[in-house]
Structure 1
Amino acid sequence: MRASVMALPFRRTTAAAVPTMRWHRRLVVCLLSSLTLLHAPAAMAVLGGDEATIQEDQKRMKAQRRLAVAGTFQVHEISSPDGSTVKEFVAANGTVFAVVWHTRLKPDLEQLLGSHHSEYAAAASEAMKRPGIKRGVVLRRGDVVVHSSGHLNAFVGKAYVPSLIPVGFNIDDIR
């Protein structure tokens, strides 16, 4: 008697199929991350913009705002329920000269930097061309300086416009 061999309904995983499965996982993670970002409160403080945007930021983030006055400038700190904070440094003339963020989700730098975003984008594009992993970046281009770093659930950074900084202000105080 001959024993018959039945084909089992198992699917063989080939080496070519493994990258495809990983690609699908990456796609799912990207889609879920995108959905999360759509529900994230956006900060709208515009670097070089008017102080009036601060109240809009507070409402948009559904956050509380604290004001600290220190000589020739004010610091508006907006804290959201998830622990994210955005600080806006305002000169006596009502212009936002610096912005600092400590957020869970990556902030929208186009909104934070306003008209200075194009300078930042050009410098960031050049920085990405250099080899290596970039967790923290310091960019100086034109009239804007941006320090940014982050990893999952922790993004920190600051941006300022040197020409807008009040006389006597110490750049190290932007934190």
Structure 2
Amino acid sequence: MPSRFRRAVLHASIAVPSSLFAVLPAYAVLGGSPMQTPSGATATTSSSVARAAATGSSTSSSSSYSVIETTLETGTVVREYVTTSGTVFGIAWSGPQIPNLSDLLGGYFPQFASGVAASHTAGVRGPASVEASGLVVHSAGHMGSFFGQAYVPSALPSGVSSSDIK
């Protein structure tokens, strides 16, 4: 498949309104509550502990969070990173179909869409990447293999870095 076509498919899957994504319901909202497990999907939860060195001390403090991994009916896996208070601070996905980013990003989706549109206007093509102070999203892939991550930098718990969201 020519790379020009793959980029067009990726661009279309990101820039087209939610009507394209109607076949892949996912109900997580970045900055909100974890998704309800969609019909036909399976979910598992695991706890993680992040460790950060305390400033000026050799002791460490820990903050725990949960990772909810949902395998959608399509085979796409969505991982939600959830604080102990129940707020989704990061999301990662991988699989044969891109999940509904409008649903996953919630109120952050317009900022993502504007960032992608600005990149395209500037002539940048390829993987979708938005890095702003309030939102970071990386989405890439090709037909049958999509992956990405999204997180709110200010919402990362102590000891958690962007590399933990995968």
C-alpha deviation, 1:158, in angstroms: 0.5
Alignment partner of 1:75: what SS? strand
Q: Does 1:93 align with 2:85?
A: yes
Instruction: Write the distance in 1 (CA, Å) between the matches of 2:22 and 2:108.
Output: 25
Give the structure, 1 or 2, with the largest relative contact order (CA under 8 Å, sep 6 or more).
2
Structure 1 counterpart of 2:69, from 57, 61, 77: 77
Instruction: Write the distance in 2 (CA, Å) between the matches of 1:113 and 1:39.
Output: 15
TM-score for both structures, normalised by structure 1: 0.70
C-alpha deviation, 1:130, in angstroms: 2.6
Q: 1:108/1:123 Cα in 2 relative to 1: closer, same or farther (>3 Å)?
A: same
TM-score for both structures, normalised by structure 2: 0.73
More helix by share: 1
Instruction: Write the distance in 2 (CA, Å) between the matches of 1:170 and 1:140.
Output: 15
Partner of 2:43: 65
Instruction: Write the distance in 1 (CA, Å) between the matches of 2:24 and 2:32.
Output: 20
Q: Render the CA deviation track for 1:123-147: whole Å, top value 9, x for unaligned.
A: 111111133541x232112411001
More strand by share: 2
Q: 1:76/1:121 Cα in 2 relative to 1: closer, same or farther (>3 Å)?
A: same
Aligned length: 135
Root-mean-square deviation (CA, aligned residues, Å) is: 2.1
**Can you give the 5+ residue segments of structure 2 that lack an aligned partner in the other structure?**
1-11, 13-19, 50-63
Q: 1:168/1:130 Cα in 2 relative to 1: closer, same or farther (>3 Å)?
A: same
Alignment partner of 2:38: what SS? helix
Partner of 2:30: 47
**Can you give the 5+ residue segments of structure 1 that lack an aligned partner in the other structure?**
1-29, 31-36
Q: Does the aligned pair in 1 maintain the 2:135–2:151 contact within 8 Å?
A: yes
Instruction: Write the distance in 1 (CA, Å) between the matches of 2:108 and 2:76.
Output: 23
Q: Which of these two proteins has the greater Rg computed from alpha carbons?
A: 1
1:10-159 aligned within 5 A: 40-51=23-34, 54=35, 56=36, 58-60=37-39, 62-71=40-49, 72-131=64-123, 133-134=125-126, 136-159=127-150
Percent identical residues: 31
Q: 1:146/1:93 Cα in 2 relative to 1: closer, same or farther (>3 Å)?
A: same
Partner of 2:17: none
